[in-house]
A and B are shown apart, each in its own frame.
Chain A
Amino acid sequence: DAKTTQPTSMDCAEGRAANLPCNHSTISGNEYVYWYRQIHSQGPQYIIHGLKNNETNEMASLIITEDRKSSTLILPHATLRDTAVYYCIVDAGNMLTFGGGTRLMVKP
């Protein structure tokens, strides 16, 4: 059974914020939420991760609900180069299980 549920695809206008949701209702207390993205013809790339608190880095922000059953990845000012498949993953160790992800299309 998949640990995460994400929309298959989303569109976003260039320069606007992209908000990518993820449901992980069966997350365990010791599992982290990770986000990776995969740009066409490249390997996946780490974006951000968190346990309970919201996190921000130079690429994105991660908002985790208080009950930890869902999260949102925010790209504050999406550019055309952010067009990619975004994967939400829950993990408690060294293993990452990639689901289908969300295909984000940033449009001019």
Chain B
Amino acid sequence: DVKVTQSSRYLVKRTGEKVFLECVQDMDHENMFWYRQDPGLGLRLIYFSYDVKMKEKGDIPEGYSVSREKKERFSLILESASTNQTSMYLCASSSLWDISYNEQFFGPGTRLTVL
């Protein structure tokens, strides 16, 4: 059974803290993605990665960075958390090689609250 796991389901942090959200996939997928989901705004892409050590900005990268040191792991970093980063964060992965079949597998999400 394919699986994408995220380090926490719920996280509470204080303004200014450095926050790490971890995502691990066991499907040997090349692509990994970080989204945030907010009521009324849907899912918005923050960053994605096509390979180890590669990263590309999505639609809303400001205030975030990412790290992909190993193929199976993609980390989202909030350098200095702010209250407007309170959101649901979703990680996903997909295979690079079949562009006619873009099934992304999503993790369960991390609900981050910044106080």
Contacts and interface: CB of A to CB of B under 8 A. Distances in A.
B90 interface: yes
Interface residues of A, number: 21
B102 A44 contact: no
Given A93-B99, A94-B102, A43 B42 contact: no
Contacts of B100: 32, 51
Contacts of B42: 98-101
B25 to A, nearest CB: 12
Q: How large is the interface on B (under 10, 10 to 19, 20 to 34, 35 or more residues)?
A: 20 to 34
Interface string A83-103: 000000001111111111100
B108 interface: yes
Interface string A40-55: 0111111001010000
A4 to B, nearest CB: 11
A49 B102 CA distance: 9
Most chain A beta-carbon neighbours within 10 Å: one of B40, B48, B109: B109
Most chain B beta-carbon neighbours within 10 Å: one of A91, A92, A95: A95
7 contacts: A43-B90, A46-B103, A51-B100, A93-B102, A95-B48, A96-B102, A99-B42
